[in-house]
Chain A
Amino acid sequence: DIQMTQSPSSLSASVGDRVTITCRASQTISSYLNWYQQKPGKAPKLLIYSASTLQSGVPSRFSGSGSGTDFTLTISSLQPEDFATYYCQLSYSNPQTFGQGTKVEIK
């Protein structure tokens, strides 16, 4: 099975900061990488699919990049509503795999 390594596991940032989260796959997965946001007690919400395509309705401050094995989620200017946990997800093959998650906290 393909393994996903997401980093960092947590970070502290201030409103307005630029935030970057990375995911690395143990083998090439083309662009089969998605990003989700989850707030406490809520279901995950799709942000980015196919590594770089913004889901409809998601603010443009979110962006994704990468292909092959290395991927990045960037929040260009962190807003108060962005404090949450973010997960990458490999969808290249079954079993599908989520990264370990990155909790974005207020500094």
Chain B
Amino acid sequence: EVQLVESGGGLVQPGGSLRLSCAASGFTFSTFWMNWVRQAPGKGLEWVANIKQDGSEKYYVDSVKGRFTVSRDNAKNSLYLQMNGLRAEDTAVYYCAREVLPQDYMDVWGKGTTVTVSS
């Protein structure tokens, strides 16, 4: 079964750090671009970042540039999001999602992990 499972969410103080993980199974992880998408409470979806199959290209939404870093370990079938300098506005459910080329759609999503930034 094709599956993505996020972990690593929790409560963190403003200015703190957190590392999210996404474990992939049931497909050849190394052949797909991967994405992080978040959803603040009661709000819509916001694309956060993505990373190429070999990690050589990474893109970010402006609001997280310089604070968040996306990475992957193809040997471990895992995607990561290192989040530093967290702000209250980063509070959200974070989803990882697989991207299919060349049409660039996200066909497999995890259930999400919740990040709460609060003092």
Contacts and interface: CB of A to CB of B under 8 A. Distances in A.
Nearest to B111: A43
A50 B103 contact: yes
14 contacts: A36-B45, A36-B106, A38-B45, A42-B111, A44-B95, A44-B97, A46-B105, A46-B106, A49-B105, A89-B45, A91-B105, A96-B104, A100-B44, A101-B44
Nearest to A47: B105
B110 interface: yes
Contacts of A43: 95, 109-112
A87 B105 contact: no
B47 interface: yes
Contacts of B104: 32, 34, 91-92, 96
A55 B107 contact: yes
Most buried by A among B44, B50, B62, B103: B44
Given A36-B106, A87-B45, 18 more contacts: A34-B104, A43-B109, A43-B111, A44-B45, A44-B95, A44-B109, A45-B109, A46-B105, A46-B107, A49-B100, A53-B103, A89-B105, A89-B106, A91-B104, A96-B104, A98-B47, A100-B44, A101-B45
A32 B112 CA distance: 25
Contact of B60 (A44, A46, A89, A95): A95
Nearest to B103: A50
A60 interface: no
B11 interface: no
B38 to A, nearest CB: 11
A95 to B, nearest CB: 5
B27 interface: no
A87 B100 CA distance: 18
Contacts of A7: none
B89 interface: no
Interface in A80-107: 85, 87, 89, 91-92, 94-101
